[in-house]
Structure 1
Amino acid sequence: MKQNIGIWIDTKQAVIIKLSNNKHAIRIIKSDIETRERVPGESKKFGRFGGQYMTFEKNKLNKRNEQTNKFIKSLLKEVQHCESVVLFGPSKMKNIFEKELSKNLQLTNKLVGVFNSKLLTENQMVAWVKDFYKK
């Protein structure tokens, strides 16, 4: 059974559209990536403890990277058993996911394209993916 997938990806969520036998299925995966967060205890940019200065930027970056990796891993599980994948969306997340696909030797050949797109409704996403695979 031939299965093609289109993924509209953003930092908030990924909409996975699976096409097989002229039917489509939609699955939405939330990312849980916090874009604006505040570390408890953070009051100023720098806090002074003895002769040291401490910043919370590194903690925020590590937490965001961890959340992004978790999101990417959940998307990689969805792509395992398909024949081809196309990525589209407005954010940089599609480029991050493209790099992860290229690192995985089993999934490298499945990626057929990465395209910029604006914010679309679910029906528009399904139509976009169907039009892409008809070509």
Structure 2
Amino acid sequence: MKNTGIWMDKEKAYIIDIKENNEDMITIFSEIEDYRIHGGSGTRFKGGPQDVVQDSKYLEREKNQFKAYFKKIIPHIENADMIVIYGPAEAGKKFNKELAENYKDIGNKVKAVLKADSMTENQIKALIRDYFKNQEQQII
């Protein structure tokens, strides 16, 4: 049985495969731009020209970058029997939604999407190992 845990945020994803007593970990980096919308006055005078900020353009580009990021992760988790997703922000929820909508066979393997703050690689491995150990104990 191959259990897979994913710790992800907007910047990178750690994928840990646990099979029997072996652990393999790979890191996948996203290429999601970290943008800040700059708008407001283009002059120091009150009532001067204003920059028009196209929020929808940025959000659409970010959405497409998330989809590309998720597509890079999919091949690494296709063969998993059980999947758990951790992360500090909304990336895990977005990834789970993408799996449920467009990759139903993989999405059905997701057992939980849980919040977890930033951690070291060893802490991430331990967190995922403990999750699956607890799952096994509940089954027995």
What range is the shorter-chain TM-score in?
0.7 to 0.9
Aligned to 1:52: none
Give me the whole-angstrom Cα distance separating, in 2, the residues matched to 1:118 and 1:91.
8
Q: How many residues are matched?
A: 123
Structure 2 distance, partners of 1:107, 1:132, is: 19
Work out the percentage of aligned pairs sharing the same amino acid: 27
Give me the whole-angstrom Cα distance separating, in 1, the residues matched to 2:125 and 2:114. 15
CA distance in 1 between counterparts of 2:107 and 2:29 reads 24
User: What residue in structure 1 maps to residue 138 of structure 2?
Assistant: none
Question: Unaligned regions of 5+ residues in structure 2, if any?
Answer: 43-49, 135-140
Question: Is the 1:45–1:56 contact (alpha carbons within 8 Å) kept by the matching residues of 2?
Answer: no
Q: Which residue is 1:45 aligned to?
A: 51
Cross-structure match for 2:88: 90
The answer on 1:109 being equivalent to 2:108 is yes
1:25 maps to 24
Per-residue Cα deviation, 1:22-54 (whole angstroms, up to 9, x for no partner):
111110000110121679xxx7532xxxxxxxx
Q: How far apart are residue 12 of structure 1 and its match?
A: 0.4
Q: Secondary structure at the match of 2:15?
A: strand
Q: Given that residues 9 and 93 in structure 1 are in contact (C-alpha distance below 8 angstroms), is that contact kept between their aligned partners in structure 2?
A: yes
1:105 positional shift:
2.2
How much does 1:62 deviate? 2.0
Q: What amino acid does structure 1 have at the position aligned with 2:127? A: W
Could you list the structure 1 runs, at least 4 aligned residues long, displaced by more than 3 angstroms after superposition: none
* Shift, 1:57, TM fit: 2.3
Q: Normalized per residue, which structure has more helix?
A: 2
Under a length normalisation based on structure 1, what TM-score does the superposition of the two structures give?
0.83
| Deviation (angstroms), 1:92 | 0.2
Unaligned stretches of 5+ residues in structure 1:
47-54
Q: Secondary structure at the match of 1:106?
A: helix
1:14 partner SS: strand
Cα displacement (A) at 1:5: 0.5
* Deviation at residue 117 of structure 1 after TM alignment: 0.5
